[in-house]
Structure 1
Amino acid sequence: MLAIAAAVVFGIWFLLDLLKTDLGAPNLFNFPTMASLGLMLLALYLAGVGSGPRAGSGSGSGRRFYGRRPGRG
């Protein structure tokens, strides 16, 4: 989810850069701010923050094989 948010941030910044606009807030929508925000979201994603539920945590998650596992000869 954080990787998608980073992609949205970079996409919005790219469109604002192409259109040569700052939406009236030059200190908010500049390169260092948007790059820092996008890179922070990517770093959080790569660190495993907000990556969704883990297999094995909670009830009903993951596959359960009763008897023989499929694919085993």
Structure 2
Amino acid sequence: MVAVIAAVLFALALLIDLAGISLGSVLTPTNLLTAGLLCVALHLAGIGTNRPTWRRPAWRGRRR
């Protein structure tokens, strides 16, 4: 989910930069790229995934 948000932020930054639109000092392509990179870093860290982050210890046997 976080990776999708990052892709949308990157697309918005590209469109704003290519169109040369000025949306003030807060919403700039550089700020959108930084937010996109933050979302990618969170995705790579495992935040925003549906998988559980805990695992059963390897020394315990599986149920048979």
Residue pair 2:2, 2:48 contacting (<8 A) in 1 also: yes
> Greater helix percent: which structure?
2
Please name the residue that 1:45 is paired with: 43
TM-score, length-scaled by structure 2: 0.71
Structure 1: give runs of 5+ residues left out of the alignment. 57-73
Do the aligned partners of residues 16 and 32 (structure 1) sit closer, same or farther apart at CA in structure 2, a change above 3 Å counting?
closer
Q: How many residues align?
A: 56
Residue pair 2:9, 2:35 contacting (<8 A) in 1 also: yes
Query: Post-superposition shift, 1:28?
Result: 1.6
Counterpart CA distance in 1 for 2:50 and 2:22 is: 34
Radius of gyration: which is bigger?
1
1:29 equivalenced with 2:27 (yes/no)? yes
Residue pair 2:14, 2:29 contacting (<8 A) in 1 also: no
Residue identity over aligned pairs, in percent, reads 34
Range 44-53 or range 28-37, more displaced: 28-37
Superposed CA RMSD: 2.3
